[in-house]
Amino acid sequence: MSGLSKTAFSVALLTIGLTAPIASAQEYRQENVVVTGSRIESLPGITLKRQGDFLLVDVRISSDSREYAMRTSEIEKTVDDLLAAAREKRDISVNVDAGGLIYPLLSSEGLPLSVGSRPDTSYTDLILRTPIPKNVGDIQPLVTKLETFANSIKGEGRATIDADDVPDVSVVNPDQYRMDVIDAILDEVDKVTKRLGPNYRVILTGLDKRMKSRNTDNINVTFYIPYSYTIVPTSMTTVLPEY
C-alpha cells in the first residue's frame, strides 16, 4: 500500500455522499500487496495476468496556516491550479479514491479536509493518473512524469504538494476478466480429468467466490479466484466437504 493514507479521505467522501464534483467514470483500485508478516495469501495454480490501464501516483496537498479558513482557501486554490494544469495535458488527470473506486475530480468545491499531525494542519489526498502504454517495459518514466507534474505546481500561500514515490495501478471494469479466469480453471480441470482416465474424477469448488486481484509489478495485475479441486476415484459415491 502506498505511503499516503487514503482511508480518511475515502471515508469522508462516502460519508458526505460523494458531494464533491467528480465524474461518474469508475475504476477498480489495485493496491500493492503489503506483507506485514510471514504469511500472505498464496496464489492458486491458475491465474490471469493483464496489463493495468492506468498508473496512479498519490499526492497530498496540505497547509499549516494558523486559521482553518485560510488553510481551506489555500488548499482549494492549489487543487484548482492542479486541475487547470492537468486540463492542458492529454495524458494526466486528477482523481479521488472513494472506497476503491477512482473518480475524476472536476473542481475543489466540497473537497473534505483531514486534520494533519498537528491541529493547525489540514490536508487532502488526490490521485494523479496517466495511461499505461501497451507493452511498456519500464514504468519509472511514467512515475517521473507524474511526480514532475505535481512538483511544477506552486502551492498557494503555505500550501504544499507532496507526491508519493510508490505508484499503484488501476483497471477499468475488472469483472470483464472473470469468465476468462473461470475458463482457464475449467480448461485445466478438463485436461487433468482426461489424463487421469475413467477411474477418477475431479470435484471442483470455489468458482462462486469473488474474483481477487494483485498488483504484480506496477504494470500488470494478476486476477484469480481462490478455487480448489479434489481428485477422487469414480467408485467413491460420497465425498464430505472440507471445513
State residue 36's pLDDT score. Answer: 22
Q: pLDDT for 3-59, tens place per residue?
A: 454 444 443 444 434 455 666 555 655 543 222 223 456 889 999 999 989 999 999
Asked whether the beta carbons of 152 and 162 are under 8 A apart, the reply is no
Instruction: Let me know: does 150 contact 161? Beta carbons within 8 Å.
Output: yes
User: What would you report as the CA-atom Rg of the chain, rounded to the nearest whole angstrom?
Assistant: 23
Confidence of residue 170 (pLDDT cuts 50, 70, 90): confident
CB 213, CB 224: distance < 8 Å:
yes
Task: Please return the burial class of 51, using the count of CB atoms within 10 Å of its CB with bins 0-12, 13-18 and 19+.
Answer: middle
Nearest to 113 by CA among 157, 154, 68: 68
Q: Is the confidence at residue 81, as pLDDT, over 60?
A: yes
Here the cell at position 172 is 477499468
Cross-strand bridge partners of residue 128: 57, 94
More confident residue, 40 or 137: 137
For residue 54, give the C-alpha cell: 492506468
Nearest to 172 by CA among 50, 72, 65: 50
Q: Please tell me the predicted confidence (pLDDT) of residue 12.
A: 41
- Give the range among 111-120, 140-149, 205-214 with minimum mean pLDDT: 111-120
Band (pLDDT 50/70/90 cuts) for residue 154 is very high
Nearest to 45 by CA among 197, 217, 188: 188
Phi, psi of 151, deg, nearest 5? -70, -15
Rounded distance, CA 18 to CA 29, Å? 17
% of the chain surpassing 70 pLDDT = 81
Kindly state the cell numbers that stand for 204.
471442483
Which of 60, 4, 51, 8 is closest to 30 using CA atoms? Answer: 51
What's the whole-number mean pLDDT along residues 50-74? 94
User: What is the rounded distance in angstroms from the CA atom of residue 203 to the CA atom of residue 174?
Assistant: 27
Mean pLDDT of 170-181: 90
Looking at the predicted structure, is the pLDDT value of residue 70 above 90?
yes
Percentage of the residues of the chain whose pLDDT score is greater than 90: 55
Q: Looking at residues 207-228, what average pLDDT do you find?
A: 90
**Secondary structure class of 108 (helix, strand, coil):** coil
**Structure confidence at residue 165 (pLDDT):** 85
Q: Is 80 exceeded by the pLDDT of residue 100?
A: no
At residue 175, does pLDDT exceed 50?
yes
Burial class (CB in 10 A: 0-12, 13-18, 19+), 5: middle
Please indicate whether residue 21 or residue 130 has the higher confidence score (pLDDT).
Answer: 130
Whether the pLDDT of residue 226 is over 90: the answer is yes
Rounded mean pLDDT of the chain?
A: 83
